[in-house]
Chains A and B, each alone.
Chain A
Amino acid sequence: MIATIWAWLSDPTNWAGAGGIPAQSLEHLRLSLIALLAAALVAVPIGLYVGHTGRGRVVLVNVVSAFRAIPSLGVLFIAALLLLPHLRGNLAFELPSLIVLAVLGIPPILSGVYAGIEQVDPAARDAARGMGMTGWQRLWQVEVPCALPLICSGLRSSMMQIIATATIAAVVGLGGLGRFLIDGQANRKYDEMAGGAILVALLALVVDIVFSLVQRAVVSPGLASRGRT
């Protein structure tokens, strides 16, 4: 069993060309990062607004938990069925999945940003106000730096969610490492499926480690002991 998987993983023909392991890994990473960026562009401003003003808190918390219940596979299929007939070429395979990936990536970032701003020490907030800082200054110079550990962990769990969903999205034609799992199953080749599964797990692990290193680099050392993830 392990030998056949290893044979598949170490076969040079699987490493070559547009459908090879390096190309599909980069494709997986590219699609996941696009989705993360899109999710962050929506989620970060909303999270900052709700955290800073305290308005819409109840709505946000409920929306986040409601989203968790939505099965990603079902939504992928719905998006594919709705959008596929209207799109052409590469876009037809990428856009429906990318939209779903981005939408499912929003809730973890939203709750991370909101919770991060929310739990900033009120004393720090008051001190900033007492120093005459404006709302924007307090947000960017006090609240955001203090919230960074939770903001980062929100981005991390969003990225993990996106990488996992991108794997599944291979059923609706998305490229990436999920191809090996889906194509391997279609051709009844367990070695290809298992090899692909190991690669996806490794990719997720490496990305998580890179994100945690970035988090360590950007979070102020004064906060490092608090809010550890």
Chain B
Amino acid sequence: MTLLGTDLGEVAEFAAQHAYLAGVPLVLGLLISLPLGWLALRRRWLYPPVIAGTGLLYTIPSLALFVLLPGILGTQILDPVNVVVAMTLYTIALLTRTVADGLGSVPDHVRQAATAMGYGPVRRFFAVELPLAVPVVSAGLRVAAVSNVSIVSVAALIGVSQLGLLFTDGFSRSAMGPIVVGVLACVLLAVLFDLLILAVTRVLTPWLRAVRA
């Protein structure tokens, strides 16, 4: 099947690679941002350096990061690992502040109540603070997901296989079809990520629905 002169089977293959390159860093970035954000919140003096430092990562233009990482990591320039690492760094840059703010938005009396009920610091974090921070963290995750999907396509310039290859391929042949299909597929993928995060958030925050009902 083809659309605007583009083989849809190929598009699906690119989309799967694209989803991997944008999705895996999202999970990794979240896992790294959680302890970083927690640290920034709990040790007040760490907040400015951690937030400024992670924020700084975001100022590095994506193409520059894709080119520099092979030199730093010792990988081949075509290795998809470079893209995964770069996108993980961007995710950390966006999420650390959100995690710190989300955990910070948990009311103090709730934390004290949990302590009074005998929750230790670890259990309190996972059973009380983290769940209550989910709405804020999820908002940040949605921003990161959408911007990841868009930035990954830049990696086509260094030849990493994903939807962005439709752009470079179309441009080299002066064919508008593949480029338009690629843009549409990227936007669709971003919407799917967004819906997925929304659905997971909904499952994780039953109390928000209970209030409305």
Contact = CB atoms under 8 A, between A and B. Distances in A.
B63 interface: yes
A65 B154 CA distance: 19
Contacts, number: 122
B62 A74 contact: no
B183 A70 contact: yes
A185 B182 contact: no
B156 A73 contact: yes
Contacts of B6: none
B211 interface: no
A201 B61 contact: yes
A69 interface: yes
B46 interface: no
Interface in A142-168: 160, 163-164, 167-168
A33 interface: no
A69 B149 contact: yes
Contacts of B146: 65, 68-69
A194 B61 CA distance: 13
B143 A78 contact: no
Contact of A194 (B71, B157, B190): B71
Interface in A165-189: 167-168, 171-172, 178, 181-182, 185
B157 A185 contact: yes
Given A77-B170, A80-B171, A81-B176, A71 B60 contact: no
Given A65-B146, A182-B157, A73 B167 contact: yes
B58 A160 contact: yes
B157 A204 contact: no
Given A73-B164, A194-B67, A201-B64, A168 B59 contact: no
A168 B157 contact: yes
A201 B186 CA distance: 26
Given A77-B167, A81-B176, A185-B157, A204 B186 contact: no
A72 interface: yes
A68 B147 contact: yes
Interface size class of A (residues with CB under 8 A): 35 or more
A200 interface: yes
A163 B64 CA distance: 11
A182 B154 CA distance: 12
B190 A200 contact: no
B61 A163 contact: yes
Given A68-B146, A181-B67, A74 B61 contact: no
Contacts of B143: 65, 68
Contacts of A1: 71
Nearest to A178: B63
Given A167-B61, A181-B63, A198-B68, 20 more contacts: A2-B71, A66-B187, A68-B150, A71-B182, A73-B154, A73-B164, A74-B153, A74-B182, A77-B168, A77-B179, A78-B183, A80-B171, A81-B179, A168-B62, A171-B171, A181-B64, A193-B67, A197-B63, A197-B65, A201-B65
9 contacts: A2-B71, A68-B147, A69-B146, A74-B153, A78-B176, A167-B61, A200-B61, A201-B61, A204-B59
